[in-house]
């Protein structure tokens, strides 16, 4: 389910609105594997992003947009010292068995795993998770980055794979990843005009956070007239 908005040149910034492509009635599919993105997934990740957030672009601009997303994705995984960022992918027809992979698990190329799968599968959904805190309110007079909060953005599922529980599984994997980083909570911004996405996040335990009157909390850089619901969930230690 997508919410349309004014086409802007904001995609060139390298940051897009979070959480716009989700299912309303998820049914978990056993054929989906959710894992961290590898270098081999880059083009399909960019393609999934563009087909979900910019579905009406004509071919030439669409191709340029995919290249732009690809570069933003690669360079966007470079983060400040002490911060973490990863891209999660939901892959169909893949195997979780590392027997079908070659390469070094610990080697990273521009933030992506360098391991290559011989049974790659097809990227059906994506999610970005980080602790950079760009869209979280700073703390103290020195406006320091907040720690202990993981941030979710760019949740997208290809149209043909929606309503199969993919967004729910991506969120669950993001929570597991956030715990492994030592995060105490997880947060996101959701378009107020996307009730399907809001209901999904609420069903997963997220709660809306009221922004103090007069406060200027940072928001994703998208169309200037877009309004967001800031949502957060406390993570248990299990």
What residues are annotated to the active site? 201
3-state secondary structure labels for all residues of 151-210: EEEEEEECHHHCCCCHHHHHHHHHHHHHHHCCCCEEEEEEECCCHHHHHHHHHCCCEECC
What whole-number distance in Å separates Cα of residue 89 and Cα of residue 123?
Answer: 6
The Cα–Cα gap between 114 and 136 comes to 31
- Give CA–CA dist 44/41, Å, rounded: 5
Cβ-count burial 56-76 (b if 16+ within 10 Å, e if not): ebeeeeeeebbebbbebbbeb
Tell me if residue 58 falls in helix, strand or coil.
coil
DSSP H or E segment with residue 48? helix 42-53
Report the distance separating Cα 31 and Cα 90, nearest Å: 10
**Maximal CA-CA distance, the chain:** 55
The neighbour count for residue 144, using CB atoms within 10 Å, is 10
From the CB of residue 13, how many other CB atoms can be counted at a distance below 10 Å? 13
CB 143 within 8 A of CB 179: no
3-state secondary structure of 2: coil
């Amino acid at each position: 389910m997508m919410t349309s908005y004014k086409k802007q040149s904001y995609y060139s910034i390298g940051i897009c609105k979070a959480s716009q492509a989700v299912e309303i009635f998820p049914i978990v599919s056993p054929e989906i594997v959710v894992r961290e993105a590898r270098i081999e997934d880059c083009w399909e990740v960019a393609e999934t992003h563009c087909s979900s957030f910019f579905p009406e672009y004509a071919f030439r601009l669409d191709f340029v947009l995919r290249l732009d997303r690809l570069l933003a994705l690669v360079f966007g995984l470079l983060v400040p010292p002490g911060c973490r960022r990863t891209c999660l992918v939901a892959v169909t027809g893949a195997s979780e068995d590392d027997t079908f992979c070659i390469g070094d698990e610990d080697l990273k190329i521009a933030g992506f795993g360098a391991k290559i799968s011989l049974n790659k599968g097809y990227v059906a959904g994506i999610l970005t998770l980080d602790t950079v805190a760009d869209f979280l309110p700073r703390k103290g007079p020195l406006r320091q980055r907040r720690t202990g909060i993981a941030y979710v953005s760019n949740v997208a599922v290809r149209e043909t794979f929606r309503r199969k529980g993919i967004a729910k599984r991506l969120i669950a994997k993001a929570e597991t990843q956030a715990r492994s980083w030592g995060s105490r909570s997880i947060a996101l911004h959701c378009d107020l005009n996307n009730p399907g996405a809001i209901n999904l996040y609420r069903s997963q335990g997220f709660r809306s956070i009221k922004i103090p009157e007069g406060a200027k909390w940072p928001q994703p850089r998208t169309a200037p007239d877009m309004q967001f619901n800031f949502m957060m969930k406390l993570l248990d230690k299990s």
